[in-house]
Chain A
Amino acid sequence: MRKEVFEQLKRELPLIGAMFLILLIIIKFIFAKEELFVVLRAVAGIFWIIVIPGYFIMFYWSQELKFFERFIIGICAGTAVIGLLSYYIGLAGIHIKYHIYLLPVVLIGGGIAIGFYPKINTKI
Chain B
Amino acid sequence: MHLDSAQERMMRGEVGEAKQFAIEIATKVGDAVGADELVPIKSAHVLAHYSSLHDAGVEVLERFADSGGKFAVPTSVDPASIDLQHWRSFGITEDYARQQFRLCDAYAKMGGMRCWTCVQYQVCNFPKEGETVAWAESSAVVFANSVMGCKSNKITAGMDVACAVLGLTPRFGMLLEENRRAGVVFRLGLKGLTDLDYRSIGYFIGRGAGARVPVLSGLPPSVTSDQIKHLGAGAAAAGPVTMIHFPGITPGSKTVIDATGGETVEEIEITRSALGEIEADLNQFSGLPDLVAFGVPHLSVNELGELAGMLEGRKLRKGVRMYAYTSSQAYDMAERTGIAEAIEQSGARLSHSTDAEISPLKALGFRTVLTNSAKLAEIVSSEGEVKVGYATQREIIERVTG
Determine if chain A interacts with chain B: no
